[in-house]
Each structure stands twice: as C-alpha cells, then as structure tokens.
Chains A and B, each alone.
Chain A
Amino acid sequence: MKIHEYQAKEILRRYGAATPRGRVTADPAEAASICEEFGGRCVVKAQIHAGGRGKGGGVKLAGSPAEAQELAASILGMQLVTPQTGPEGQEVRKVLVEEALDIASEYYLAVTLDRQIGAPIIMASAAGGMNIEEVAEENPDAIVREAFDPHLGLQPFQARSVASRLGLSGGTARQAQKLIAALARTYVEMDASLAEINPMLVTGEGDVVALDAKMNFDSNALFRHQDVREMRDLAEENALEVEAGRYGLNYIKLDGNIGCMVNGAGLAMATMDIIKLYGGAPANFLDVGGSASQEAVANAFRLLVGDPNVKAVLINIFGGIARTDRIAGGVVDALAELGDVGIPVVVRLEGTNVEKGREILHSADFDFIVASQMGDAAEKAVAAVKELA
C-alpha cells in the first residue's frame, strides 16, 4: 500500500527524523497563509502517489505568499503527468506547502528488503535526487549498501559507516546517522516494504533534512497498523482495481484488449504471457484465487466485461480445489444477469469435474468458444479479437 509524501513525513517525524516545516492543504488561500508563516518563501508540492512530480511541473518554488496562492491554484486540480503516472496523468487534490531551504548537497537514502540475503538493507548514494535505478545501472559502486538484522535493529556503527561512506563528517555526519537510524526503525516497526528519502538534503548550514519521502507498506501486515490503513487514499488508485479488491480479487489493469480471468497468480501471469506469444495483448492481470468461488467468478466476469477496452474474454481455470462446474456456473450466472455482453468469450477448463463444467457451458444460452488447452485458448482469443477489427 502506498501513502502520500506528507503522510510519510508525518510517520518519519514520529521516529525523530528532521523534515522541513510544512502543512498540507487543498485551498490556495491557505497555501498563502502557510507560506506567510514560513517567512514568505515556500515550496508548493503536488501530493499524488506517483514519483517524478517535479519533472511534470508539480513542484514549484514560491517567492511570496501571493505567488504560493497562485501556484497552489494552478497545481490543485491539474492532471499531473509524470514518468510514473502514464499519459493520462493523475488529478492533484492536495498540495504540501513547505518552508524553502537552501540546498548544499543531495543524497539518496532508502531501506528495502534484500530478498537474496533475507534481511532489510540500507541503500544510499551521494547522487541524490537522481534516478537511482540509472545510478545502479551505470555506476553500481556509487551505491552504499548496509544490510542489518531487523530484530536487533541497525547498530550505531552501521549508521556511522553509511554516513562516512557517503563522505559526510562532523556534525553533518551525526545528523545523517540520526536520520538513517530513524529510517531503519520506521521500516521495521511500521512493516514497510520501502522507506525512501530522496533527496536527503544537506543545507548550507550543514543541517540534514528529509526533503522528500516515500513509503510503501506490506499489505499483509496492515492488520496491525490501524493508523496506516487510515492513510489509504482510494482516489489515487485505479477504480477497477479498488472494486476488484472489494470482491477479494487480485486485479491489475493493463493496456491490451483481451480480458483474462485465471485462478492462481502464476497461471494468471503465464496466461498473459501466452496471449502475447500468440500476438495478442492482455487487458489485465486477474487472479480469482486458487480456490475460486462461484461468486468471485461472477464478480470477476462482470468486472472484465465492464472494461470498455476489453474486446474478448479469456477464461483459463485449472480446477483443483476449485471445482470447474462451479466456475462454469458462476460465468453462466453472470452472463444471465448481464444479458448480451456483445464480445466473444473463450473458455478453457481443466481439472476437477471438468466434464460437468463443459456441459454447463454447452447447454448455456451463450455461444462460448471452448478451448482444449492453454495454447489453443490463447490462439482462439487472439483470433476472435482480430476478427472484430
């Protein structure tokens, strides 16, 4: 789960991290008064979940309260397009107004999971503010890494080592150590999957501040973090994905036109892959769960045909615990309720009770395209879309 920058900073401050003074608002007039409070100079920052906001014109420096008001008015409500939003962009509903600090140097600082060693790891670089993936690609030695034991916590010598390898010294190094330790504790105690400060700023006076912050959380651990659950902003998420989540379905929207319904994440990915292999493009990833219930299947089917981009549906179910006759029943129920869906539906059923399942499809009042195996199903779905074009 993702949260906004202002929320991530709120959490970091609880752990003793230094951040710029700032407040969030949806009102341009209030932006002016916040700016006034900070001495008449401020930064107005669009609050959306996607990164790269500065590049899209969502982060601006204001030299006066009047200018802050003007900038806030122009940023609020805009469709902000960044490299991470896709071409349609994301509507800005809130801005964070922060005091403007002078920048001497910028660093990258993050904690994430190193799956290979099975421990959290600090990643830091003196090339702050830049695209860290490019740094990793072009100059991997420029990235400082320090794994730590999540149960013992990051030790002070480790924080000192990171600061020193970033080239910091004296009071600045001590402040950086404090920020690094705060970030590591936040990551572990809040069950984050990513805690990132980019950039970590060193001011002209040598002070260290988290200028920007990003935090993602392990969805599986949200049951013990009521405060984080309350920070969820559904307006930032894809509407279809939110709806799917309500039905307990795992759904991700993609660019293609073949809607996929599959049970199990691995088989769902493999189905997308085989569609591509036969020259088609999947409209989504949709896992109805390994033990797909009839109701989940009916909801999933409604969701798929409700997407205007979907020109054909491919249902690929390998019934184990999930009985294929129930799944066929769920699809037929949904069709009966929806009436004429007007698009071809390719079905491949295999596994438990498959004969009964196929019989249900045959006797339904709808002309299913029945496929015998995965390759056959993909081929038929791709052909069905081509026929329509």
Chain B
Amino acid sequence: MAIWVNEETRLVVQGITGKEGTFHALGCRDYGTNVVAGVTPGKGGQEVEGVPVFDSMDQARDKTGCNATMIFVPPPFAADAIMEAAAAGIELVVCITEGIPVGDMLKVKAFLRDHPTRLVGPNCPGVISPGVAKIGIMPGHIHLPGRVGVISRSGTLTYEAVWQLTNLELGQSTCVGIGGDPINGTSFIDALEAFAADDATEAVIMMGEIGGSAEEEAAAWVQANYDRPVVGFIAGRTAPPGRRMGHAGAIVAGGKGTAAAKMEAMREAGIHVVESPAEMGRKVAEALGA
C-alpha cells in the first residue's frame, strides 16, 4: 500500500513538449508510471515518444481517462495550468514549477476551494510510491519499497533522507515533496492524515524549514492524532534572520518561524527531533526498534 500514487494512476504531463517536460515524462514512464497523455496548448495531435499530446486538459481527460497530472509549465502560466487541471476534474495535481508568484497561488487556492482536487507543490520534487509509480523529478533508483512515509518541503534534502532509509533497508512507502513556497496545496497535516490511514506506513519522517508555522501545526496534529513514530528535522537553524522572512511576516508568525521554536514544538509533541540531518534514518530505525 501507499498513498496518492499507485497502480491506478493514469498520468498526464502538462508542458510535455518542453525539454524538461519530455525528459521527466519519460523518466516517470521508465519507472513504471502509466503515462497516458501530454498537454501543450496549440500542439494537440503531436506525439512525444508515443505519448499523445492534446490541446487542453478536457480533451486529455475525455480521450485517456487520466486522473493525475504533473505540471512543467513556465511560472507565468503555471497557475492557469493548475486551475485548468482542476476544472477538468483531475484528482491529483503535482506542480513541479518553481517561481510562481504568490499572488497567482492565492488565486489558485481560491479556485481549488470549489474543486475536490488535491494539489501537491508547487516548487516540489513530486510524489513517489517506490516500486510502483512516481510523479516527479526524483531519481527513482535511490528508493526502496518499504515501511517509512517521507514528507518534506525540500527536494535534495528528501533524497538525503530517502538514501539513508534505503541503506538501512527500511525503505519508503510513499515520499511526498510538499514544496518550498509560502503558499502551497498540500500541507504536512494533509500528508500525515493520509499516512495515518495507510497500514504500510509504520513511521514518518518530516523535514521542515524555517518560516511560517506549518511545522508547529503539524506537531500539534501528530500529538493529538498519530501514534506511530515520527522523526523530525528542521533546516535553517543557522540561516540569518530577516533574509527569507519579511519584517512584518515575522510578526504574523509571532516568534513561530525560527528553527529552534519549530524543533521545540515538535519535541513537545513527542516527535523524535534530530539535530543532525545525517541522523534521520538511524533515528527512524531506533524508533521502530529495527
């Protein structure tokens, strides 16, 4: 078992005719994902390595029954692509695009309120259920089907945790990159809820970053709702204050944006916090008694 991405996944790639879109569409197919369509407005009727390309998400949905999408559309047009996917009734939207304006993401959030679509990202590596399928840009070969759910705001830091779990032969059930942007679709709590309902996931690693208060909210949720082990790490303890968070933004967070405050909130919630990112995998093994 796994969450969100599985054998039923029928993937469409928005922006498939671009260099990155093509590369990663094929990367997903090589990993075992059922890639059924691509969409690039104006390029309908073409094919990319045997994958049919459509002008719109509606057409792709009608002709192929796709139920998930991966977005590689450039930042100025990415918000529109997300909304088009939601309007076409796609259940899972994974947006890889980095650099979408916050103002555009606020529009997307408002639009998604009236749609049952799950958005993962933007600015994320995607979602992978090892050994089954992947929607994203992560290197498949570092993963191993297994017992641990992984949730992270970062790309390469996720690979670090995944690699540690693979070397310890614990493996991963599903890895979810929720993305590094201030406004995103899926939160830590959304992913934790899904992992809680998944029997194959015996423990979770969550990797947060400075800024905002998503980690504190997730910690409170874990304390109240989740009884399997959770290992936590927060990146950015040494980051200079004020460089990432605007002046007034730090006030809204009310002292909640710092790594120290996040780690403290996680510890208080019973999460196994590691100080060193090199210790994430070992800590999970310890918590599982493996």
- What residues of chain A have their CB less than 8 Å away from a CB belonging to chain B? 51, 84, 110-116, 118-121, 123, 132-133, 136-137, 140, 143, 145, 149-151, 188, 191, 193-194, 196, 214, 216, 218, 220-221, 223-224, 252, 254, 262-267, 269-270, 272-277, 282, 285, 290-291, 318-321, 350-352, 373-376
Contacts and interface: CB of A to CB of B under 8 A. Distances in A.
A266 B248 contact: no
Closest 6 A-B residue pairs measured CB to CB? A266-B154, A264-B156, A266-B157, A221-B101, A375-B278, A269-B235
B139 A321 contact: yes
A116 B103 contact: no
A218 B102 CA distance: 7
A112 B249 contact: yes
Contact of A266 (B155, B183, B254): B155
B139 A352 contact: yes
B65 interface: no
Interface of B: 75-76, 99-104, 106-107, 109-110, 125, 137-139, 141-142, 152-160, 163, 180, 182-183, 207, 209-214, 217, 233, 235-240, 242-243, 246-255, 259, 275-279
A274 B259 CA distance: 13
B264 to A, nearest CB: 16
B76 A224 contact: yes
A126 to B, nearest CB: 15
Contact of A290 (B75, B102, B156, B254): B156
Nearest to B237: A273
B209 to A, nearest CB: 6
B240 to A, nearest CB: 6
Contacts of B279: 375
Given A115-B211, A224-B101, 5 more contacts: A123-B251, A254-B240, A272-B238, A320-B139, A320-B159
A273 B277 contact: yes
Contacts of A150: 103, 106
A121 B202 CA distance: 40
Nearest to B236: A269
A267 B157 contact: yes
A196 to B, nearest CB: 6
Nearest to A262: B156
B255 A137 contact: yes
A220 B238 contact: no
A136 B142 CA distance: 45
A151 B109 CA distance: 11
A224 B278 CA distance: 41
Contacts of A350: 160, 163
A273 B235 contact: yes
A contact patch SS: mixed
A264 B139 contact: no
Contacts of A84: 242
A270 to B, nearest CB: 4
23 contacts: A112-B252, A113-B249, A115-B212, A115-B249, A118-B106, A118-B109, A121-B252, A193-B102, A223-B75, A266-B155, A269-B209, A269-B239, A272-B236, A274-B277, A277-B276, A319-B139, A320-B125, A320-B137, A320-B155, A321-B139, A351-B139, A351-B142, A352-B139
Given A115-B252, A320-B155, A374-B277, A252 B243 contact: yes
Contact of A194 (B99, B125, B247): B247
Contacts of A224: 76, 101
B249 A194 contact: yes
Nearest to A152: B110
Most A Cβ at <10 Å: residue of B100, B110, B246: B246
A337 B160 CA distance: 31
Nearest to A196: B248
A224 B163 CA distance: 40
A80 B207 CA distance: 40
B146 to A, nearest CB: 19
A313 to B, nearest CB: 17
Nearest to B142: A351
A232 B93 CA distance: 36
A320 B101 contact: no
B254 A140 contact: yes
A372 to B, nearest CB: 10
Contacts of A133: 247, 250-251
A112 B250 CA distance: 10
A123 B101 contact: no
Contacts of B125: 290, 320
A112 B163 contact: no
Given A132-B248, A151-B107, A375-B276, A266 B101 contact: no
Contact of B238 (A188, A214, A221, A282): A282
